[in-house]
Amino acid sequence: NAGVTQTPKFRILKIGQSMTLQCTQDMNHNYMYWYRQDPGMGLKLIYYSVGAGITDKGEVPNGYNVSRSTTEDFPLRLELAAPSQTSVYFCASRDRGDNEKLFFGSGTQLSVL
Amino acid sequence: GDSVTQMEGPVTLSEEAFLTINCTYTATGYPSLFWYVQYPGEGLQLLLKATKADDKGSNKGFEATYRKETTSFHLEKGSVQVSDSAVYFCALSGDNDMRFGAGTRLTVKP
């Protein structure tokens, strides 16, 4: 059972480059999330989705885009990478209902130089 | 909006010491409350949760009680081990999202 899978694990970008962080889950979860984790700052919500075709902004959406064409996949797009986007990115998912447990991927460490 | 505030870290303890990590929350409704743990190089894992006032969540010797009157959900463990060294996050669930505190790094020395 794979759970939540994120790729790549590490990436170095130059300023202005673009990339997509991939996230897929095999638990048929409706809810999916993207967080960024900065040192000493905890997790900040970038975008989330409550189901295929539905996305919404979190606390820090600027500079990012998402799409949710299927239940399984929730890619995060950086169009013009900036040094401020250097961070560790986590994708997470959960089922709808009483069980609010989040399942996290292992993270993507991104450096923008 | 809804938010969570955790005590500043890092926290360094000797093995078998008592642990408390403070967490308070601000919310307009009645959210569920959570503690997540992050071991080095890994994503977060759910440690325990409580869904309503006066509920006590517990797991692996850790406990936290949902206190509505003080809007708190402090994490406690009676005797910590070296293997408990990790970063601990308090969190609350909103309507559709999950809000996290800044995290508290715990180091337990033998």
pLDDT digits (tens, 9 = 90+) for A48-84: 999 999 999 998 999 999 999 999 999 999 989 999 9
Q: Contact A50/A56 with Cβ under 8 angstroms? A: yes
In a mutational test of the A interface, the residue from B21, B23, B59, B98 whose CB has the highest number of chain A CBs within 10 Å is B98
pLDDT digits (tens, 9 = 90+) for B54-68: 999 999 999 999 999
Q: How many beta-carbon pairs below 8 A join chains A and B?
A: 54
- Token pair, residue A85, equals 């986007």
Provide the pLDDT confidence category of residue B8 given band limits of 50, 70 and 90. confident
Smallest Cα–Cα separation from B1: which of B23, B33, B29? B29
For B60, the 3-state DSSP assignment is coil
**Which carries the bigger pLDDT value, residue A38 or residue B17?**
B17
Least confident of A27-31, A40-44, A74-78, B76-80: A40-44
The string of DSSP codes covering B6-25 is E----EEEETT--EEE-EEE
pLDDT at A1: 64
Residue of B nearest to A106 (CA): B43
CA dihedral B30, B32, B23, A55 (to 10 degrees): -100
As a whole number, mean pLDDT of residues B40-44 equals 85
CA atoms within 13 A on the CB side of B92: 24
Hey, are the CB atoms on A42 and B102 less than 8 Å from each other? yes
pLDDT at A99: 58
- In this complex, which of B42, B45, B101 lies closest to A42 when CB atoms are compared? B101
Smallest Cα–Cα separation from A10: which of A92, A77, A110, A104? A110
pLDDT digits (tens, 9 = 90+) for B65-100: 999 999 999 999 999 999 999 999 999 987 777 889
Residue B3 at interface with chain A, using a CB cutoff of 8 Å: no
